[in-house]
Amino acid sequence: MIDKIILDSISNAVVTVPGVVSFANFAAKTEAEIKTEDISKAVELTTADNTDRVKVHIVLINGVNIRDVVNEVQIRVKYELEKVSQFVRNYIVDVAVDDLIVV
């Protein structure tokens, strides 16, 4: 179970990035299950020593510059998580684009 403070920090960082439609359920078995509002289904966390590796699964709008959006998500999530931990923990942030939605 991932700490609610960590999930809230990730959620607040990601929802402000232009081009992100929603979080993606990494355990989805069908296309209909991919989009989720439940961030706990979209974040994977592994811990080693004083470094945490976070993988955030998202859905993007088709036509955005994927590299720019993913980079922005990485920067914002890393900063927010390090700020919450008062910069005593290091975070590696991976972003997985699980789907593209045509708007």
The span from the CA of 43 to the CA of 85, in Å, is 18
93, exposed or middle or buried, with CB in 10 Å at 0-12, 13-18, 19+? buried
For the stretch 17-46, pLDDT in tens is 999 999 999 999 999 999 999 999 999 999
CA-derived radius of gyration, the chain: 13
Q: pTM here?
A: 0.93
Q: Read off the tokens for 76.
A: 């914002």
- What domains, with CATH codes, occur in the chain? 4-101 (3.30.70.1350)
H-type alpha helices, the chain = 4-14, 66-84
For the stretch 57-85, pLDDT in tens is 999 999 999 999 999 999 999 999 999 99
For residue 15, report the phi and psi dihedrals to the nearest 5 degrees: -65, -20
* 64 in Cβ contact with 19 (< 8 Å): yes
